[in-house]
A and B are shown apart, each in its own frame.
Chain A
Amino acid sequence: MRWNGAGALALMAGLAVSLGFAQPATAQGSGSATLDAAKTRAQILCGISGQVPGFSLPDSQGVMRGLDADTCRAIAAAAVGDATKVKFVPTTTQNRFTALQSGEVDLLSRTTTWTLGREGNLGLLFAWVNYYDGTGFLVKKSSGVDSAKKMDGATICVQPGTSTELAIADFYRVNKMKFTPILIQDLPELQGAFLSGRCDAYSTDASALATFRFSQGPKAADLVLLPEIISKEPLGVMVRKGDDKWFDIVRWTFIALITAEEKGVTAANVDSMLTSTDPDIRRLLGVDGDLGKALGLDNKWAYNVIKQVGNFGEMWDRNITPMGVPRSINNLWTKGGLQYAPPMR
């Protein structure tokens, strides 16, 4: 998709107008306007990037692949019972929040960093973190640079409107260095500017740098990921404020994915797990208790998610492992990582 300035402006102006006409959310049915609408159209609308390998990028058959895409599928399996009932809506870094605010998408699963400003000012909520990331730098091996601290005076390619551009500005200020930003909205165009040598470094979330480097194939060896990670970038799944029921569904679907990994429930063994005697597994899969009903869903919601998408570990192995990125802090807390599921009871 080629991004064009006039088009985006028109889109945003359109969104502003549609916001003007939108009616306040009404409390009926399940108590969640977003869930009711999703059930009516038998589909959830999921805002993704569509350009980041490992997170969301169409494969050769046009099927959206990646951790963010699978996160959307998990929510669809929980909300409407079918992981294929997702409409992927590509959003840019600049129109993503407007798309969510105006109701064009039901949730945003788009390598978006959880910050106070975004929750405080934008009327949006982060439901869970699906990737603990940080800003890194990718440079060419030929430049001979081996540390971000040696990049005084460098020209850096970065996408505008991201938390990355703020993180780099902070990093350079703290280290009393200067840099020249090259800000290009369109990701392929930005990456082209880096590869052609317009910029000394390409900076974004380290995960995206690693997958971009991987996607260069044999030329990957010419690119070096600098060791410094200069910021915390917890990438999360976002929903609108004002629909707490929907927020619960998105958050607990994600917790169910992690719980399933903790308990060793996978897409392959979920059916046999139905007869498990472990009370946690029985509650998770809806054999005992009414956890699904509490969310306004079917008690089989988590079963559907695991059966159709797998647990969080399976999502990771399917999408991120092939890119050569280690699990490290994204592992379960029991394995030295940060993913820790609150009790489902």
Chain B
Amino acid sequence: MSVTSSDPRIAGARAAPKRGIRFSWSDPLFRAIIWQIVIVGIVVGIGWYLVHNTMQNLAARRIATGFDFLDRVAGIPIGESMIAYDSSVHTYGRALVIGVLNTLQVSVVGIILATIIGTLVGIGRLSSNWLLARLTAFYVEVIRDIPLLLQLLFWYTMLQGLPPPRQAWSIGDTAFLSNRGIKLPLLEWQTAYGFALLGLAAGIAATIWWSRRASRVQEQTGVRPSVWPVAIGGMVVLPLAIWALFGAPLVLDIPALRGFNFQGGGTISPEFSALLIGLVTYTAGFIAEIVRSGIQAVPNGQWEAARALGLRHGVILRQIILPQALRVIIPPMTSQYLNLTKNSSLAVAIGFQDIVSIANTTLNQTGQAIEVIAIIMAVYLTISLSISLFMNWYNARIALVER
């Protein structure tokens, strides 16, 4: 409610409390309080009725309730998992955690890739290169106008069209592409890597310290000492030197065709790939439009002023236009990130086991629909609110720095 209004009616309402509450229907404050009580009472009453009646009906139908099933051995097979999972040992609780991790995995990778591709395409649409501008415009229009589910099924079918494992396309017999996914060699862990990583961390710290010092020197003298020699020395040469000191151990776990499929190495499954490609290309189409509109929202005078200073096109875009465009871009970007995360639930259609897929299976094997649906809602609410909070924080930071 606005108290700054000069509307005389509202001014009158503001004056009322000074007289205190009269227990009369003609007192606006009294009426307001009564209405609040009635509305809260209705909401609480409906909520209580729903919960009570659900419990009563579940009991009447002898349907088990409660979250005890989370501790029961799951027995459901899971195709891909970031943490160890054995269906004969682990519980439904762990299976659901795997689902959450899988959802987070595809969402985080998807958000990063969609942002990069979307930004490039958005800038491309504004390019003076006729071909580039038309191609990106075509991409945006086609991708945005086809339902995501169809795109996912399209990508999944395309990936199934790849050759079978025995005729897989290979890169030097170490990495393979087949309809079972991408098989990559994995590094086998050595103690030397631990020390090399410590060296890398030290290198990063040194680079940050040197960069801050460079800024201080620049403020005092106007000349910025170059940072790159420290960066290369600390983050590339130092870790490599440590690794070489340990005798440069390098053991690769190379995938090899044995029996039905490749054994060893790491796998990127067709299900994950199809979901990621679909989500990234689809969301990038929307992000491209947000970036384009954000850039165009910056007044043309900014471009002209920068050109008048003799700056190059790339520098103008990076240093002048994008920072201002970000203020327009960030808020709608948040909803695209939320969309991508929520759209990842379409994974069920192509067999990637995200939280919805695993929760659905759990629901079916245990029959506890209400509990499982509540878990799914809680998971998405938590992820979405986290994204929102982070983006709001970032938005506030951009606004503060720039204004």
Q: Is the CB of B79 within 8 A of A118?
A: no
B164: chain A residues within 8 A (beta carbon): 197
Is A344's beta carbon under 8 Å from chain B? no
Interface residue tally of chain A, by bracket? Answer: 35 or more
A289: chain B residues within 8 A (beta carbon): none
A9: chain B residues within 8 A (beta carbon): 345, 356, 373, 376
Interface residue tally of chain B, by bracket? Answer: 35 or more
With contact pairs A16-B373, A121-B367, A240-B61 given, residues A198 and B179 touching in the complex (Cβ less than 8 Å): yes
B179: chain A residues within 8 A (beta carbon): 196-198
Q: Is the CB of A193 within 8 A of B160?
A: yes
Is B348's beta carbon under 8 Å from chain A? yes
A21-29, A47-55, A266-274, A324-332: which one contacts chain B?
Answer: A21-29
Is A58's beta carbon under 8 Å from chain B? no
Is B157's beta carbon under 8 Å from chain A? yes
Is B127's beta carbon under 8 Å from chain A? no
Is B403's beta carbon under 8 Å from chain A? no
With contact pairs A3-B349, A155-B180 given, residues A118 and B77 touching in the complex (Cβ less than 8 Å): no
Q: Is the CB of B360 within 8 A of A94?
A: yes
Q: Is the CB of B366 within 8 A of A153?
A: no
Q: Is the CB of B61 within 8 A of A152?
A: no
Is B6's beta carbon under 8 Å from chain A? no
Q: Is the CB of A5 within 8 A of B361?
A: no
Q: Please report the C-alpha to C-alpha distance between residue A2 and residue B60 in the assembled complex, in whole angstroms.
A: 35
Is A169's beta carbon under 8 Å from chain B? yes
Interface residues as binary, B66-80 with A (CB distance below 8 Å gives 1, 0 otherwise): 000000000111110
Is A180's beta carbon under 8 Å from chain B? yes
Q: Please report the C-alpha to C-alpha distance between residue A93 and residue B357 in the assembled complex, in whole angstroms.
A: 13
Q: Which residue of A lies closest to B369 (CB)?
A: A98
Partner of A101 from B63, B149, B260, B361 at Cβ < 8 Å? B63
With contact pairs A169-B76, A241-B61 given, residues A196 and B360 touching in the complex (Cβ less than 8 Å): no
A81-89, A159-167, A250-258: which one contacts chain B?
Answer: A159-167
A143: chain B residues within 8 A (beta carbon): 260
Q: Please report the C-alpha to C-alpha distance between residue A283 and residue B325 in the assembled complex, in whole angstroms.
A: 85
Q: Which residue of B lies closest to A122 (CB)?
A: B367
Q: Please report the C-alpha to C-alpha distance between residue A5 and residue B349 in the assembled complex, in whole angstroms.
A: 7
Q: Is the CB of B76 within 8 A of A166?
A: yes
Is A230's beta carbon under 8 Å from chain B? no
Is A186's beta carbon under 8 Å from chain B? yes
With contact pairs A160-B364, A192-B157 given, residues A5 and B345 touching in the complex (Cβ less than 8 Å): yes
Q: Is the CB of B63 within 8 A of A183?
A: no
Q: Please report the C-alpha to C-alpha distance between residue A271 and residue B263 in the assembled complex, in whole angstroms.
A: 66
Q: Please report the C-alpha to C-alpha distance between residue A166 and residue B259 in the assembled complex, in whole angstroms.
A: 24
Q: Is the CB of A166 within 8 A of B75?
A: yes
Q: Is the CB of A15 within 8 A of B369?
A: yes
With contact pairs A24-B57, A101-B61, A161-B360 given, residues A166 and B365 touching in the complex (Cβ less than 8 Å): yes
With contact pairs A153-B263, A197-B160, A240-B61 given, residues A169 and B349 touching in the complex (Cβ less than 8 Å): no
Is B322's beta carbon under 8 Å from chain A? no
Is A242's beta carbon under 8 Å from chain B? yes
Q: Which of B20-74 contact A (CB under 8 A)?
A: 50-51, 53-54, 56-58, 60-64
With contact pairs A181-B78, A193-B160 given, residues A20 and B361 touching in the complex (Cβ less than 8 Å): no
A161: chain B residues within 8 A (beta carbon): 360-361, 363-365
Q: Which of B320-358 contact A (CB under 8 A)?
A: 345-351, 353, 356-357
Q: Is the CB of A196 within 8 A of B75?
A: no
Q: Is the CB of A24 within 8 A of B60?
A: yes
Partner of B260 from A155, A169, A196 at Cβ < 8 Å? A155
Is A323's beta carbon under 8 Å from chain B? no
The listed residue with most B CB atoms (<10 A of its CB), out of A13, A117, A122, A162, is: A122
Is A184's beta carbon under 8 Å from chain B? yes
Q: Please report the C-alpha to C-alpha distance between residue A242 and residue B260 in the assembled complex, in whole angstroms.
A: 49
Residues of A whose CB lies within 8 Å of any CB of B are 2-6, 8-9, 12-13, 15-17, 19-22, 24-25, 93-94, 97-98, 101, 117-118, 120-123, 143, 151-155, 158, 160-162, 165-166, 168-170, 173, 179-186, 189-190, 192-193, 196-198, 200, 240-242
15 pairs from A and B in contact (CB 8 Å cutoff): A5-B356, A9-B345, A9-B356, A21-B53, A98-B363, A98-B369, A160-B361, A160-B364, A181-B77, A183-B77, A189-B350, A193-B160, A196-B161, A200-B260, A242-B60
For the A-B complex with A4-B349, A21-B50, A169-B75 known, give 5 more contacts whose Cβ atoms are closer than 8 Å.
A9-B373, A94-B363, A173-B88, A189-B350, A196-B157
Residues of B whose CB lies within 8 Å of any CB of A are 50-51, 53-54, 56-58, 60-64, 75-79, 87-88, 149, 153, 157, 160-161, 164, 179-180, 258-261, 263, 270-271, 345-351, 353, 356-357, 360-361, 363-370, 373, 376
Listed from nearest, the 9 A-B pairs whose CB atoms lie closest are A161-B364, A196-B160, A123-B63, A181-B77, A122-B367, A184-B351, A123-B61, A5-B348, A20-B54
